[in-house]
């Protein structure tokens, strides 16, 4: 297969510009698509061509498959990069692309389909010999079965939507008393959010770390892992801070998890970039949770510690190139931390769209900012509030934290509220500095800082990545 001449980027914001940078370095022409609300976006300005595909609401623009495909046909592109969110994990969209002879830059449609059904993904991973959380291998049919399964695995349990992921449609159930209410609530939420009420039940691992392994596979069966990212600091299942390596993993654990991830990907014939999410419990046992079949928001921390360009690799793999490196060629170096900068209140997390009146980006050694924000830009209210990612790299974790602190001090954004202050407070926490992270970190942080909102229990609504 020949290298792509032109790629359409089916996304917006920082990831759209990130994909354009990779294309420019590869000498590939770019087409930006945008909604009416995104006319003045940076990705539109930096792309070689741009097309308006609809009004502001995503359902009418970035999620509108006929509009996206029409734009691709009109501009005669060879491939589409979906970024994250929007159509990135839509198996039907991947199928339509292939049917229109446009390469979808991602895994095969059947892989996206399999991993999109979380209970099927669990079963597939179990069959591949990957440890999964104790639970029932299948969807729950009725209350009686739910009660039997929950009693068998022991409380607390967690109910998850089969079509969910990223925490949507989840319910934590402390004891039998709350089971039936949680079951019907989860089923209703799943029906509403995904048009599919199927749920499954697992043992709830109360104090765990969220650790994910990055993988890359080419079309010829070569698969490598690029180590882990620790993403335990989340609120309402939206990650706030990610880092690599995890303070909790030894070299041996990294190798074991990495080899397991590679084996699982080999088993399902995984192609392109992917991420396997695991929970690591306090006894250092780890369990597969789900697999994300897209480039993730937090991919830069992996890029910095492995000296790779994951978006470039995605494009080369989709174009039919062989992986340029083996597992032995991947050298892990130093420590990287990412802070997600959202246009929102640092206290209430209420979105804060509007005009950015002034802005200073941090720079200097080991500092990277992935963003599409600029002074004079109006952050539209219609989309995810992520406006930038601040990523630092240094020789060790303590030095990376110091570097992040000084970069946050220099990150000035005026006119809107941002999460910069929240990150400064988190980076001042002794538990963070000591690497004592868990999925309960923000719950405890909120309590000790007298902040509202319980974090872990039945977080009702949040935007998906």
Which positions are catalytic? 294
Cβ neighbours of residue 413 closer than 8 Å, sequence gap 6 or more: 341, 356, 358, 359, 373, 420
How would DSSP label each residue in 21-46?
HHHHHHT-EEEEEEEGGGTT-HHHHH
Per-residue burial over 139-175, b = 16 or more CB atoms within 10 Å of its CB, e = otherwise: bbeeeeebeebbeebeeebbbbbbbbbbbbbbbbbee
> Backbone phi, then psi, for 39, in 5-degree steps?
-55, -40
Q: Give the C-alpha separation, 240 to 389, whole Å.
A: 10
Bridging pattern class, strands 49-54 and 29-35:
parallel
Q: Which is nearer to ligand MV4, 158 or 199 (CB)?
A: 158
Beta strand 378-379 pairing with 412-414? unpaired
Q: Please report how close the Cβ of residue 343 comes to ligand MV4 at its closest, in angstroms.
A: 22
- Residue 319 Cβ vs ligand MV4, minimum distance, rounded to whole Å: 31
Shortest Cβ 271–ligand MV4 spacing (Å): 23
Q: What minimum distance in Å lies between the beta carbon of 440 and ligand MV4?
A: 7
List interacting residues with ligand MV4 (CB under 6 A).
Answer: 133, 158, 166-167, 202-205, 208, 210, 234, 237, 277, 279, 289-290, 439, 455-456
Of 417 and 455, nearer to ligand MV4 (C-beta) is 455
Identity of the residue, 12 or 235, whose beta carbon is nearer to ligand MV4 in the bound complex: 235
Contact 117, 172 (CB under 8 A): no
| Contact (CB, 8 A) for 271 and 136 | no
Nearer residue to ligand MV4 within complex by CB, 196 or 219: 196
| Strand order through the sheet with 199-203 | 171-173, 157-161, 199-203
CA distance 72 to 307: 32
Nearer to ligand MV4, 166 or 300 (CB): 166
> What is the closest distance, in whole angstroms, from the C-beta atom of residue 204 to ligand MV4 in the complex?
5
Work out the number of other CB atoms within 10 angstroms of the CB of residue 333: 11
Give least dist CB 292 to ligand MV4, A. 9
* Cβ distance to ligand MV4 smaller for residue 165 or 197: 165
């Amino acid at each position: 297969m020949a290298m792509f001449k032109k790629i359409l980027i089916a996304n917006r914001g920082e990831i759209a510009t990130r994909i354009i940078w990779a294309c420019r370095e590869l000498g590939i022409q770019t087409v930006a698509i945008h909604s009416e609300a995104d006319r003045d976006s940076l990705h539109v300005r930096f792309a070689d061509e741009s097309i308006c595909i609809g009004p502001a609401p995503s359902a009418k623009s970035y999620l509108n498959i006929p509009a996206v495909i029409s734009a691709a046909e009109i501009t005669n592109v060879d491939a589409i990069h979906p970024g994250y969110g929007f159509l990135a994990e839509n198996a039907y969209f991947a199928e339509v692309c292939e049917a229109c002879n446009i390469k979808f830059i991602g895994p095969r449609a059947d892989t996206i389909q399999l991993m999109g059904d979380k209970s099927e993904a669990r079963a597939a991973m179990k069959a591949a010999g990957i440890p999964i959380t104790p639970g029932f291998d299948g969807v729950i049919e009725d209350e009686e079965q739910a009660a039997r399964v929950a009693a068998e695995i022991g409380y607390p349990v967690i109910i998850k939507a089969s079509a969910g992921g990223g925490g949507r449609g989840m319910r934590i159930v402390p004891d039998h008393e709350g089971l039936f209410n949680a079951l019907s609530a989860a089923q209703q939420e799943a029906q509403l959010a995904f048009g599919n009420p199927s749920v499954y039940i697992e043992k709830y691992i109360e104090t765990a770390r969220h650790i994910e392994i990055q993988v890359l596979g080419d079309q010829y069966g070569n698969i490598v892992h690029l180590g882990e990212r620790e993403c335990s600091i989340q609120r309402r299942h939206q990650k706030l801070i990610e880092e690599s390596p995890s303070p909790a993993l030894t070299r041996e654990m990294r190798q074991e998890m990495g080899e397991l991830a590679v084996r699982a990907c080999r088993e399902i014939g995984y192609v392109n970039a992917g991420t396997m999410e695991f929970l690591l419990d306090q006894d250092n046992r780890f369990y597969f949770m789900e697999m994300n079949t897209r480039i993730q928001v937090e991919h830069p921390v992996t890029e910095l510690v492995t000296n790779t360009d994951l978006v470039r690799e995605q494009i080369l793999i989709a174009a039919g190139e062989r992986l340029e490196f083996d597992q032995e060629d991947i050298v892990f170096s130093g420590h990287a931390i990412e802070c997600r900068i959202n246009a929102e209140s640092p206290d209430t997390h209420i979105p804060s769209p509007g005009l950015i009146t002034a802005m200073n980006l941090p720079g200097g050694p080991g500092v990277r900012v992935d963003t599409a924000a600029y002074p004079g830009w109006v952050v539209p209210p219609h989309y995810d509030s992520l406006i930038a990612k601040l990523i630092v790299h240094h020789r060790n974790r303590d030095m990376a934290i110091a570097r992040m602190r000084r970069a946050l001090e220099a990150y000035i954004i005026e006119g809107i509220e941002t999460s910069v202050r929240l990150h400064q407070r988190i980076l001042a926490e002794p538990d963070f500095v000591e690497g004592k992270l868990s999925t309960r970190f923000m719950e405890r942080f909120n309590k000790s800082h007298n902040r509202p909102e319980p974090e872990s229990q039945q977080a009702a609504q949040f935007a998906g990545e």
